[in-house]
Structure 1
Amino acid sequence: MESTASGLNFRDAVEADVDTLVGLIESAYRGDDSRAGWTTEADILEGQRTDPEGVRQVIKSPDGRLLTVERDGVVIACCQLEHRGEHAYFGMFAVRPALQGAGLGKLIIAEAERRVRQWWGATEMHMTVISVREDLIAWYERRGYRRTGRTSPFPYGDERFGIPQRPDLEFELLVKPLG
């Protein structure tokens, strides 16, 4: 575990964290709880965002880590980091809804970028964001990510990823060069 000046502790998730992390991710993206924060997808997707098996797969992946962020011993955020050759993939990013908007996301993504450069020598960070999430994409653009225009289909019909409430969902690749 590593502490930062901001009082945050970063560590790799373990099996014992699965239920806590599923609850965190669900609360940040789905249902009424997510409306307390600004990252909610509740208006475009219903159902689940992830499940215990999905979180377990990320924890056990030989090419990745599920970075868990704690403050005062309480899990408040997480993000998936995956080594993909010259770049790293950033996903499953969640911050407790009541703590959103206070600058934590900026600190966490900067630390994630630092770590993938250090661990894997990654020269770019990639992520996919649902293309209709203009506010979220703008937030990432302010952090140096750029839209590529490269899209991939949303997995309609696979309720493990949610139940779409509109027909035009797709993922767009965002990329940031790492210095």
Structure 2
Amino acid sequence: MPQNAQPSFAECIQDTKHSAVHLEMRDDYGDNERFAAWRRGKRIDWDDRASWWRGFHDQIAGAVARGVSIRRVRIVSEPVSEYIRWEHHITRANIIAGEQVRWVPRGLASDLLLPCNDFWLFDDQLARIHHFAGNGSLVSDEFASEPDILKTFAVSFEAAWERGISHEEYTV
């Protein structure tokens, strides 16, 4: 990899040995074709795995098969946005791939100190920090390995995780 190149998600998860956690805090991540199709009434045929399984799911399933724990927490406003209703629907794919997912209504997170950006944290050694535009589109990713940042992210994730409602129990 060139010296200034940032690792892809696939490279990050492939190098992960123990755990990967993802904190999401936006109510909208912009438009995409799958979301647009859902808004038009198209629903996933869960029996047709080829229609919804993506490379991302392969990466998650491969990591889980290696013994990596993968957890995701989504902080959401209630009532939830249309985007979050769609995201809740498609989260079944994450669960099938091996992720553990919890939801935290924003009202239960008021006293938590959370970073202002979504992030992935790999083995508590590398953070991939997402920067979004106001419309929800991804602008850039930043990587951090400074111990203070990693500790802040780990502590904030665990606090949110403890408040979380399992995907199976959270209804939108």
Q: The TM-score by the shorter chain falls in which range? A: under 0.3
Of the two structures, which has the highest relative contact order with CA contacts closer than 8 Å and spacing of 6 or more? 2
Return the structure number with greater strand share: 1
TM-score, scaled relative to structure 2: 0.27
TM-score, scaled relative to structure 1: 0.26
Return the structure number with greater helix share: 2
